[in-house]
């Protein structure tokens, strides 16, 4: 149990050690070499994995965005202490934008090998899809989406950081109103971004629930990563302000979105199975043959069975070692899920994960870790200027 906190000493920015920074740069270097080697050896496979990782790590940043806007709109007080971590995740969006521009080059180079609608033989007959799916339109609208997200993220971060400098006292109402508007902008832009990068790799497929499912996945995985980092911070620089209740509530959100994700996934599958329409069923048939069913089994073990039964009890949400296992499992499951969504589009037989996949993942892990940790090393680890930070530091719920 924590004693009542009556005064908060600024924990300062993250103490970024040279060894951690070198680790991230090493991952970038090794991963970049593997990715470039993949571009030479198997360009389609390399660029498809690049797009997969771009989507996943942009999803971590957007998951931080969703965490902040939802809690700002709800005026929640418990989330103030972990809010700065979510802001750090959002700070990756400008880097993700640059990586997306690189992806556009790769998509152009790959022709119709990843996105069949770039060629003449895609088999897409819907006039709406034909009009929507063109390289210039896809590139233009997604550049616009990134610029919108970066603007919204900077505005949200500014609401928090200016309080650290004593330039604003209570801007909670303004931040809540802005967050509501930001959520209304985020929903359609995220849905179109997901359709363009992931779903359009199967351009003939129809599903109105796909982007809801993928949002549940990115928020679940972003919460898993936040829990991992927050526990590390709680045991070090935030040991005097972060409580077990913060960890429990964050893992509670992870548990809630695990259930929501499963609900949406089952609803999508059940409706497609029941209707039995060829333009819908082929998606699942393709992914249940040629060894791909094994990936699906691993995915659902890691993304649903492990976090559902692993976080069902209150005590499990308080066990940090167990939480680490569950969260790392969720992150592995998120990667496998995206792999299962994208790679079978052009491969009837299972493509085993090899050095190209692992190298590209290492590159993106290093980039995300390096830029997020550097941002945290320049800002206080908690919003010390928020007038309600003491209430958050004293948050206790079934502790």
- Is 125's pLDDT higher than 80? no
Per-residue confidence (pLDDT) for residue 122, from 0 to 100: 65
Q: Of all helices (H) and strands (E), which one includes residue 340? A: helix 320-342
- Is 8's pLDDT higher than 70? yes
- Top-confidence residue, 125 or 77: 77
Closest C-alpha among 350, 305, 354, 337 to residue 198: 337
Give the phi and the psi of residue 249 in degrees, each rounded to 5.
-70, -35
- Is 399's pLDDT higher than 60? no
Over residues 272-308, the pLDDT tens digits come to 999 999 889 999 999 999 999 999 999 999 999 999 9
Closest C-alpha among 294, 218, 303 to residue 266: 303
Over residues 108-119, the pLDDT tens digits come to 999 889 999 988
Name the 3-class secondary structure at 168: coil
Question: Residue 170 corresponds to which tokens in the numbers above?
Answer: 């209570």
- Is 136's pLDDT higher than 80? yes
Contact 214, 56 (CB under 8 A): no
- Is 167's pLDDT higher than 80? no
- Is 318's pLDDT higher than 90? no
Per-residue confidence (pLDDT) for residue 357, from 0 to 100: 97
78 CB neighbour count, 10 Å cutoff: 21
Where does the chain show beta strands of DSSP type E? none
Per-residue confidence (pLDDT) for residue 22, from 0 to 100: 96
Q: Which DSSP state fits 303?
A: I
Per-residue confidence (pLDDT) for residue 10, from 0 to 100: 84
Per-residue confidence (pLDDT) for residue 218, from 0 to 100: 96
Sign of CA dihedral 332, 371, 21, 240: negative
Spatial CB neighbours of 67, under 8 Å, sequence gap ≥ 6: 79, 83, 86, 219, 222, 223, 226, 253
* Helix axes 355-376 and 18-41, enclosed angle (nearest 10): 150
Per-residue confidence (pLDDT) for residue 165, from 0 to 100: 77
Per-residue confidence (pLDDT) for residue 397, from 0 to 100: 67
pLDDT mean over 347-358 = 94
- Is 5's pLDDT higher than 90? no
Average pLDDT, the chain: 92
- Is 169's pLDDT higher than 80? no
Q: Which of 19-28, 313-322, 380-389 has the highest mean pLDDT?
A: 19-28
Per-residue confidence at 316, pLDDT binned at 50, 70, 90?
confident
| Residue ranges per structural domain of the chain | 18-376
- Is 193's pLDDT higher than 90? yes
- Top-confidence residue, 189 or 388: 189
pLDDT mean over 134-146 = 95
């Amino acid at each position: 149990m924590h004693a009542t906190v009556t005064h908060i000493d600024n924990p300062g920015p993250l103490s970024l050690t040279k060894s951690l920074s070198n680790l991230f740069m090493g991952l970038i270097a090794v991963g970049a070499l593997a990715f470039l080697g993949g571009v030479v050896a198997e360009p389609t496979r390399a660029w498809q994995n690049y797009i997969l990782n771009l989507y996943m790590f942009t999803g971590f940043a957007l998951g931080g965005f969703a965490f902040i806007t939802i809690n700002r709109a709800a005026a929640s007080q418990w989330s103030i202490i972990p809010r700065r971590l979510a802001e750090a995740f959002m700070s990756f969006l400008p880097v993700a934008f640059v990586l997306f521009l690189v992806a556009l080059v790769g998509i152009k180079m790959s022709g119709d090998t990843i996105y069949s609608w770039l060629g003449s033989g895609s088999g897409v007959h819907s006039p709406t899809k034909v009009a929507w799916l063109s390289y210039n339109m896809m590139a233009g609208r997604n550049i616009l989406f990134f610029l919108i997200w970066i603007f919204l993220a900077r505005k949200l971060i500014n609401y928090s950081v200016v309080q650290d400098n004593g330039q604003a006292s209570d801007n909670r109402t303004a931040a809540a109103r802005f967050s509501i508007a930001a959520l209304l902008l985020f929903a359609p832009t995220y849905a179109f971004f997901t359709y363009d990068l992931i779903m359009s790799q199967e351009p003939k497929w129809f599903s109105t629930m796909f982007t809801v499912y993928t949002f549940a996945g990115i928020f679940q995985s972003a919460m898993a990563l936040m829990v991992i980092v927050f526990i590390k911070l709680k045991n070090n620089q935030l040991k005097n302000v972060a409580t077990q209740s913060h960890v429990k509530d964050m893992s509670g959100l992870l548990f809630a979105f695990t259930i929501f994700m499963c609900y949406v996934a089952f609803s999508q599958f059940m409706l497609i199975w029941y209707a039995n329409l060829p333009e819908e069923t082929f998606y699942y048939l393709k992914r249940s043959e040629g060894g791909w069913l094994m990936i699906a089994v691993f995915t659902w073990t890691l993304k649903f069975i492990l976090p559902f039964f692993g976080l069902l009890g209150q005590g499990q949400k308080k066990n940090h070692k167990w939480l680490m296992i569950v969260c790392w499992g969720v992150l592995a499951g998120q990667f496998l899920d995206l792999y299962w969504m994208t790679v079978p589009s052009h491969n009837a037989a299972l493509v085993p994960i090899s050095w190209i996949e692992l190298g590209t993942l290492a590159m993106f892990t290093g980039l995300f870790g390096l830029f997020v940790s550097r941002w945290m090393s320049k800002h206080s680890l908690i919003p010390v200027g928020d007038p309600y930070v003491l209430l958050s530091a004293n948050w206790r719920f079934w502790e």
